[in-house]
Amino acid sequence: MERIPVFAPCTGIDTLKHLTDALDVGWIGMGATTKEFEDRISAFLGLTDRQVIATNTGTSALHIALVAAGIKPGDEVITPSFNYVADHQAIRMAGAEVVMCDIRDDNLGIDCAKAEPLVTNKTKAIIPLHFAGLPCDQAGVFSLAKKHKLRVIEDSMHGFGTAIDGRKLGSYGDITCFSFDPVKIVTSIDGGCVIVASDQEFSNLQRLRLLGVDKDTTERYKNRRAWDYDVVSEGFRYHLTNIMASVGVSQIKRVEEFIASRQRVCRAYNDAFCKKPGLKIPQTDFSDVSPFIYSLRVLDGRREALIAHLQNLAVDVGIHFIPVHKHTYFAQCRRSDMTVTDKVAAEVLTLPLHSNMKPEFVERVIAGVTSFPG
Ligand X SMILES: Cc1ncc(COP(=O)(O)O)c(C=O)c1O
Half-sphere exposure for 53 (CA within 13 Å, toward CB): 34
d(CA 278, CA 276): 6
Mode of pairing for the β-strands spanning 192-196 and 51-55 = antiparallel
Nearest to ligand X of 86, 134 (CB atom): 86
Q: How far is the CB of 60 from ligand X (least distance, A)?
A: 7
Q: How far is the CB of 132 from ligand X (least distance, A)?
A: 10
**Sign of the CA dihedral 164, 252, 84, 313?**
positive
Q: Binding residue for ligand X (CB under 6 A) from 80, 128, 192, 323?
A: 192
Nearest to ligand X of 22, 185 (CB atom): 185
Classify residue 223 by its DSSP letter.
T
Q: Binding residue for ligand X (CB under 6 A) from 22, 96, 108, 129?
A: 129
Indicate left, alpha or beta for 207 from its phi (over 0: left) and psi (-120 to 50: alpha).
alpha
Nearest to ligand X of 323, 368 (CB atom): 323
Count of residues in contact with ligand X, rule CB under 6 A: 14
Nearest to ligand X of 65, 362 (CB atom): 65
Q: Which of residues 79-98 bind ligand X (CB under 6 A)?
A: 83-84, 86-87
d(CA 222, CA 216): 10
Q: Does 181 bind ligand X (CB under 6 A)?
A: yes
- The region of 140-148, 150-158, 223-231, 256-264 touching ligand X under the rule CB under 6 A is 150-158
Q: How far is the CB of 80 from ligand X (least distance, A)?
A: 10
Q: CA nearest 102: which of 318, 325, 331, 293? A: 325
Q: How far is the CB of 95 from ligand X (least distance, A)?
A: 19
Nearest to ligand X of 282, 368 (CB atom): 282
Classify residue 192 by its DSSP letter.
E
Nearest to ligand X of 58, 352 (CB atom): 58
Q: How far is the CB of 320 from ligand X (least distance, A)?
A: 8
Map 275-343 to HEC letters.
CCCCEECCCCCCCCCCCCCEEEEECCCCHHHHHHHHHHCCECCECCCCCHHHCHHHCCCEECCCHHHHH
Question: For the chain, first and last CA: distance in Å?
Answer: 25
Q: Binding residue for ligand X (CB under 6 A) from 137, 154, 155, 216?
A: 155
CB 350 within 8 A of CB 320: yes
Q: Binding residue for ligand X (CB under 6 A) from 15, 162, 179, 241?
A: 179
Nearest to ligand X of 157, 362 (CB atom): 157
Q: Which residue is nearest to ligand X (CB)?
A: 58
Mode of pairing for the β-strands spanning 123-126 and 76-80 = parallel
Classify residue 241 by its DSSP letter.
P
Q: Which of residues 288-327 bind ligand X (CB under 6 A)?
A: none
Q: How far is the CB of 156 from ligand X (least distance, A)?
A: 9
x-marked contacts with ligand X along 46-75 as a string, rule CB under 6 A: -----------xxx----------------
Using CB under 6 A, list all residues that contact ligand X.
57-59, 83-84, 86-87, 129, 155, 157-158, 179, 181, 192
